[in-house]
Structure 1
Amino acid sequence: MQVEETPLKDCFLIKPKIFEDHRGIFLETYHRKRLAELTGIDAEFVQDNQSVSSYGVLRGLHYQKGEFAQTKIVRVIFGKVLDVVVDLRPDSPTFRKTYSAILDDENLHQLYVPKGFGHGFLTLSEKSVFAYKCDDYYRPGSEGGIIYNDPDLNIDWNFPENEMILSEKDRNLPTFKEAFQ
């Protein structure tokens, strides 16, 4: 496993070692001890989630608030997505900064998303299967979100907005200023 720092504090791009032969491929998708050695962060994951999305589906930007904030490791099992995170920690040197990466079933990269980050993704393939580990359980009363096209965050989704498919809930999320004032 290779771990690269992103421009956002405590957020890492994880590149697993892929073993390939005539039968196909094998990779280790998670190794707690090795990840802790490489990042200095040791999270205990308690819940795995998976979503299936069609081309153009945008999910996010979501987060869990306060004591129920979640650290996540996200990855694509099948397909291709543009994965986006935003640092929502007011005391962080990268507060309000965003980072995006292509995650797909070819590069098999993963993103370590620390507590206090907003997260979303846009499916760029016909279909995507997206999986993520969480270090705390989902609690509906603690969820929050920021609208995907927030003018202050200015995220470049590099995708025609009129082709994006969003849930009604995601389409009506507050702006960054509304959520954090």
Structure 2
Amino acid sequence: MIFTTTELQGAFIIDIEPRADSRGFFARTFCTQEFTDRGLEVANVQCSIAFNHKQGTIRGLHYQDTPLTEAKLVRCTQGAIYDVIVDMRPNSSTYLAHVGVELSAENRWSLYIPEMFAHGYQTLTDDTEVMYQMNKLYEPGYERGLRYDDPILGIDWPLPVTEIADKDFSWSLLESMLVGIER
């Protein structure tokens, strides 16, 4: 596996190293040792998939708050998405900074998302499927979210929004949450 650092400390784009022959190829998508060697969280307690019918659909931006923060490994297995992560670690030099990367069935990349990072994506094609591996169980009481269109984040989504859950559209804007907090 090839780990490429992003601008946000602890977040990586992960590419496969295919071993090809006349049948096709075989490649590792996860290896505890390779993650441990980089100091990354390796527990895998839950896997999920999300299927999206329409191009332009947005899911997120979600994260789990302390003490149940959650690291994720995300991969698009069908279609393509524009995946965005936001650093929510208050003491980080990149607090509220974001990175976006295209994940697709074609490029076969994964995105490693550290704990205390919000995560969301927009579908770039119809009929997309996204696979998640998480190091903690989902706990609804600790779920938090950010608005996809929050002006403080300034995320430049590639397409007009066609679908978004009411919950994701109703998260508070950061301005109301950051009153009195230095940024």
- Which TM-score tier does this pair reach, normalised by the shorter chain? over 0.9
Aligned to 2:68: 68
For residues 3 and 80 of structure 1, what CA distance do their matches in structure 2 show?
A: 20
Q: Secondary structure at the match of 2:34?
A: helix
1:168 partnered with 2:166:
yes
CA offset digits 1:92-113 (Å, max 9, x no partner): 1111100000000111111110
Q: Which runs of 5+ in 1 are unaligned?
A: none
CA offset digits 1:3-31 (Å, max 9, x no partner): 01100011111111123344333221111
1:178–1:18 Cα change, 3 Å = farther
Following superposition, the deviation at residue 175 of structure 1 comes to: 1.3
Aligned to 1:89: 89
For residues 139 and 180 of structure 1, what CA distance do their matches in structure 2 show?
A: 24
Following superposition, the deviation at residue 179 of structure 1 comes to: 4.0
Equivalent residues of 2:35, 2:42 under 8 A apart? no
For residues 39 and 69 of structure 2, what CA distance do their matches in structure 1 show?
A: 19
For residues 21 and 139 of structure 2, what CA distance do their matches in structure 1 show?
A: 42
Identity rate, percent: 33
Q: How many equivalent residue pairs?
A: 178
Equivalent residues of 1:146, 1:179 under 8 A apart? no
CA offset digits 1:97-137 (Å, max 9, x no partner): 00000000111111110000000011101111101111110
Q: Secondary structure at the match of 1:66?
A: coil
For residues 176 and 20 of structure 1, what CA distance do their matches in structure 2 show?
A: 47
CA RMSD of aligned residues (A): 1.3
TM-score, normalised relative to structure 2? 0.92
Q: Secondary structure at the match of 2:167?
A: helix
Higher helix share: 1
Choose 146-155 or 27-36, whichever is displaced more.
Answer: 27-36
Q: Which runs of 5+ in 2 are unaligned?
A: none
For residues 74 and 168 of structure 1, what CA distance do their matches in structure 2 show?
A: 23
Following superposition, the deviation at residue 180 of structure 1 comes to: 4.8
Alignment of 1:1-181 (within 5 A): 1-37=1-37, 39-54=38-53, 55-160=55-160, 163-181=161-179
